[in-house]
Chain A
Amino acid sequence: METKNRIKNVLVTLLKIKPEELKDGISLQDSIGVDSTEMVETVIALEKEFGTKLSAKEVTKFNTIEQITNTINSKLTNSKLK
């Protein structure tokens, strides 16, 4: 849950959108119309927020918040195991 909220905060601050615009279960492209350049910025901001490397293929505008949360959580778990 905490990861999901942190991702939402990153998006709200970065893209200057209202929190209620971000809807669960819908891709970023469909809920807030993210374009590819915004996605580049988003990936960099998420990397900074979570201290982990993310590729543009792992986090895309076609993902939902939940999918991005899962991707980041599994990255964080893997890095702890190592």
Chain B
Amino acid sequence: MEKIAITGIGVVAPSGIGKRQFWANIKAGRSFVKKITRFDASKYPSHIAGQIDELEKYSHISERLLKKIDAFSHMALIASELALQDAGINIKNEDPNLIGIFLGNAIGGWLYAETELRDLYLEGREGVSPYMASAWFPAAPQGQVSIYYGIKGFSKTVVADRASSLEAIGYARKTLSKNKLNMILAGGMEAPVTPYALLCCNTYGGLTTDNEHPETAYRPFDKNKSGFVIGEGAGIMVMEGIIRAKKRNANISAVISGYASNCDGYDRIQPDTNGKELARAIKSALSDAKVNPEDIGYISLDGLALDLWDNSEVKAIKEVFGNKAKDIPVSCPKSMFGNLLGASGALDLIITLLAMEHSLLPPTINLDNPNPNGLNYVAKEAREHKISKALIISRGRGGINAAMVIEKP
């Protein structure tokens, strides 16, 4: 199977737009979790988030298009453009039939949807924008990116809760390795900082209510963890076969060497407490990559900051890595900008790529007293460390487990 390379990174996140600004803030360990200012969220149990301000300032999208699309498509369009620029690809020189788009998200475009639903009940049928039907649904960003660039190849949108984007990237790799396409724009986007989406996240019960201390509220793997914080943004990468990437002298961040995904078959929301299926997914990904557990130099954690989730994640790592579990550096950098739900896996992968490039492990902020113990947590500050192989873990409600192995080319 041909190795699949990642050759371009596009990131739109509360910590920064574009990989330079984003990485500068990640390596400094800065928190971008704040009180929500987009609307009055003060009556919600949890009203803090990683929010992106002034998205328009960075946008190349016309006002005529902006009024037809939801924020999550807007973010996907910016991230796609950044990824293509970073990869040095001019889409006009490519065969549009051989480019694909593989994106993941968990909830769709709710800012658009809820505004129009309000108008439906206030003004009736004619109050609803005709763009509603094409703006809110989960595959809308895929459609908008394809229209914007004239991309016409086989494409997919994956909806698998918080594991959506890592699953989309895994699927993209599989498709590329069958030589069906020349390149793929892969990743995910999510825009949950809206009144209705925030309400649903609140009723799910997993959000922290430590509203008075936004910057220290998201505490994965800490003794005083109290739940997660939502964030918005997009992470999209250019993926292509390594032969093509080398031929065009692309800057190869890493190759994806292994991937696996499975289900717990346990509960409609909670994960299996023993982490057995997550462990099996990690083992399958390592076996797919033909990599021994001890060769992994860094693990990017899912880290929902809820006991059930963090405990089972640590159990799975201990089961797979045995005695080595205490040595391999692990961290959960999303503690700095919030959990991007369906886009979280793409952001985790991007951070891991940048960590490899800069030989610097990104920190888990707010990690004062590790619980559960027994892992080599990179806490509070970034740490210098060369990484040649890394593992990314992404999980979703209902027991979805995804694991990806990447390595330096």
Q: Which of B40-48, B127-135, B289-297, B335-343 contacts A (4 or more CB under 8 A)?
A: B127-135
Rounded to whole angstroms, the CA-CA distance of A15 and B131 in the bound complex is: 12
Interface size on A, residues (CB 8 A): 8
Q: Decide: B64 and A15 in contact? CB cutoff 8 A.
A: yes
Interface pick from A2-10, A22-30, A36-44, A66-74: A36-44
B62: which A residues are within 8 A, CB to CB? 16
Cβ-closest chain A residue relative to B131: A37
Distance between B140 CB and nearest chain A CB, rounded to angstroms: 13
- Whether A37 lies near B64 (C-beta < 8 A) is no
CA distance in complex: A77, B152 (Å): 48
A-B residue pairs, 4 tightest by C-beta: A40-B130, A16-B63, A16-B64, A37-B130
Query: Closest Cβ of chain B: how far from A35's Cβ, in Å?
Result: 9
User: For window 359-383 of chain B, which residues contact chain A by CB distance below 8 Å?
Assistant: none
* Interface, chain A (partner B; CB < 8 A): 15-17, 37-38, 40-41, 44
A37 touches B134 (CB 8 A): yes
How far is it, in angstroms, between the C-alpha of A16 and the C-alpha of B129 when the chains are bound?
15
Q: Which of B87-139 contact A (CB under 8 A)?
A: 126, 129-131, 134
* Chain A proximity of B211: nearest CB distance (Å): 37
- How far apart are the CA atoms of A17 and B68 in the complex, in Å? 14
Contact indicator B64/A41 (Cβ below 8 Å):
no
User: For A17, what are the chain B residues with a Cβ–Cβ distance below 8 Å?
Assistant: 64
Does B244 make an interface contact (CB < 8 A)? Answer: no
CB of A41 within 8 A of CB of B130, answer: yes
In the complex the two chains form, what is the Cα distance from A40 to B131 in whole Å?
Answer: 9
By beta carbon, the residue of chain A nearest B63 is A16
Question: In the complex, which residues of chain B have a beta carbon less than 8 angstroms from the beta carbon of A40?
Answer: 130
B68 neighbours in A (Cβ, 8 Å): 37
Mask of B128-165 contacts with A, CB within 8 angstroms, 1/0: 01110010000000000000000000000000000000
Q: Let me know if B63 and A41 touch, CB within 8 A.
A: no
Q: How far is the CA of A37 from the CA of B143 in the complex (A)?
A: 15
| A-B CB contact pairs (8 Å), 9 listed | A16-B62, A16-B63, A16-B67, A37-B131, A38-B130, A41-B129, A41-B130, A41-B131, A44-B126
State the Cβ distance, B134 to closest chain A Cβ, in Å: 7
Tell me the minimal C-beta distance from A63 to chain B in angstroms.
18
Complex CA distance for A40 and B68, rounded to whole angstroms = 13
Who on chain A is nearest to B64 by CB? A16
Q: For chain B residues 250-306, which have a beta carbon within 8 Å of chain A?
A: none
Report the Cα distance A15→B67, complex, angstroms: 9
C-alpha spacing A37/B130, complex, angstroms: 6
Contact residues, B35-85 vs A (CB, 8 A)? 62-64, 67-68
A44: B residues at CB distance < 8 A: 126, 130
A16 and B67 alpha carbons, distance in the complex (Å): 9
Smallest CB separation, B124 vs chain A (Å): 12
